[in-house]
């Protein structure tokens, strides 16, 4: 039972209760480390009763928690050579050693990226990038609180690649005005990381009510919006840090922008040229070339060569 299969099992269940969402989120976040857990420890760490944990495992189709755990062990044996599994076991073994803070921090970031890469298929990632460019309506990008910085960064990248790209942003009082013209052909790209901002939740629900497409970058397969969105990019967050890390999510957003460039038409370099001229006219930056449109043209030619 790979992580993807476990998540699919959970998603196939009817509507989850709040307690079941806590268990589901814990299982998704801590795969494959949950091989070291039992019903009691999961109960303690999620704050739900042991009986609820056992009932939830039964809902997943297992006769007992022991059968569930045995399946996890079998899966771990098969996956033991994968980087994420090796890291998990090494982390358990080295937990008592003296701490190298820099190494621990960098390892945690690498673990987040490896887990993301392991659980998403390349075709799925590229399809999401294609949707960002080819959506027939407007692309709206939203994120609140700490996620607003990520939304602002992603908006700055995507608006260079396509027209009608809007940031639902910092002035919360203006968001209702920005939603007036939302239509079914629009797409919302929402960044929704714990602690989950209620305004982002409300924005996504409004887009859903308008039958618009919703793409979510989140840190859990079972966030409060898991049953609302069309596509999810789940970027794990290492829980050992006091602070919520941004590095892995930033890397995924940058990678998504590079992937989106593959679906731009051959005139994209003209947009980059105009962007650079405007930067120069408004003296936005110190003298020097801001956007190398020639490199964009070379990229597009190389892409056409690869397609042949």
Tell me, what's the pLDDT at 273? 82
Distances, alpha carbon 131 to alpha carbons 9, 154, 247, in Å: 26, 15, 24
Convert the pLDDT of each residue in 210-244 to its tens digit: 999 999 999 989 999 999 999 999 998 866 666 77
Segment 241-249 mean pLDDT: 80
At residue 90, the pLDDT reads 46
Reported pTM: 0.81
Residue 72: the pLDDT is 79
Q: What is the pLDDT of residues 12-44, one digit of tens each?
A: 888 899 999 999 988 988 877 788 889 999 999
Look at residues 217, 221, 222, 216 and name the one whose alpha carbon lies nearest to residue 248. Answer: 217
* Per-residue model confidence (pLDDT) at position 33: 79
139-143, 187-191, 204-208, 222-226: least confident range: 222-226
Torsion of CA 110, 296, 259, 168, to 10 degrees: 90
DSSP β-ladder status, 213-218 and 187-192: parallel
Sign of the dihedral through C-alpha 278, 283, 285, 288: positive
The burial of 7, by beta-carbon neighbours within 10 Å (0-12 exposed, 13-18 middle, 19 or more buried), is given as buried
pLDDT at 82: 43
Backbone angles phi, psi at 192, to 5 degrees: -135, 90
Residue 150, pLDDT > 90, answer yes
Could you list the beta-strand ranges (E) of 201-308: 213-218, 231-234
Q: What is each CA distance from 303 to 189, 200, 211, 261, in whole angstroms?
A: 26, 36, 34, 10
* Predicted local confidence at residue 89, as pLDDT: 46
Pick one of 2.70.70.10, 1.10.1060.10, 3.30.70.141, 1.10.10.10 as the CATH number of 3-95: 1.10.10.10
Model confidence pLDDT, tens digit, residues 43-89? 999 999 999 999 999 999 999 888 888 887 776 655 443 444 444 54
pLDDT score at 292:
61
Domain boundaries, the chain: 3-95, 122-261, 268-307
Q: What is the pLDDT of residues 288-306, one digit of tens each?
A: 665 665 566 677 677 667 6
**Chain centre distance of CA 172:** 23
pLDDT (0 to 100) of residue 87: 47
pLDDT tens digit sequence for 86-130: 445 445 445 545 568 888 888 888 988 988 998 899 999 999 999
- Could you confirm whether domain 122-261 is CATH 3.40.50.10490? yes
Q: What is the pLDDT of residue 252?
A: 97
pLDDT: is 278 or 292 the higher one?
Answer: 278
């Amino acid at each position: 039972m790979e992580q993807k299969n476990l998540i699919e099992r959970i998603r196939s269940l009817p509507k989850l209760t709040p307690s079941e969402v806590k268990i589901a989120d814990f299982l998704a976040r801590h795969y494959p480390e949950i091989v070291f857990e039992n019903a009691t420890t999961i109960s303690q760490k999620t704050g739900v009763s042991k009986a609820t944990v056992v009932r939830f495992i039964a809902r997943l189709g297992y006769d007992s928690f022991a059968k569930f755990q045995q399946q996890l062990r079998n899966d771990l044996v098969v996956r033991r050579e994968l980087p994420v599994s090796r890291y998990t076991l090494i982390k358990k073994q080295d937990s008592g050693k003296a701490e190298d803070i820099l190494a621990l921090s960098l390892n945690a970031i690498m673990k987040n990226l490896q887990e993301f890469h392991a659980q998403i298929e390349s075709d799925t990632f590229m399809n999401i990038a294609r949707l960002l460019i080819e959506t027939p309506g407007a692309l709206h990008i939203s994120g609140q609180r700490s996620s607003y910085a990520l939304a602002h960064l992603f908006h700055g990248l995507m608006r260079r690649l396509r027209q009608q790209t809007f940031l639902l942003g910092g002035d919360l009082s203006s968001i209702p005005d920005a939603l007036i013209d939302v239509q079914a052909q629009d797409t919302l790209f929402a960044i929704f990381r714990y602690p989950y901002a209620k305004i982002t939740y409300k924005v996504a629900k409004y887009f859903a009510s308008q039958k618009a497409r919703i793409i979510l970058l989140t840190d859990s397969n079972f966030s409060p919006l898991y049953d609302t969105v069309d596509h999810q990019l789940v970027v794990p967050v290492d829980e050992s840090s006091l602070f919520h890390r941004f590095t892995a999510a930033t890397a995924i957003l940058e990678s998504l922008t590079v992937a989106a460039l593959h679906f731009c038409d051959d005139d994209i370099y003209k947009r980059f040229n105009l962007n650079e001229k405007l930067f120069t006219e408004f003296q936005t930056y110190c003298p020097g070339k801001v956007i190398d449109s020639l490199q964009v043209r070379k990229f597009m030619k190389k892409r056409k060569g690869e397609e042949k």
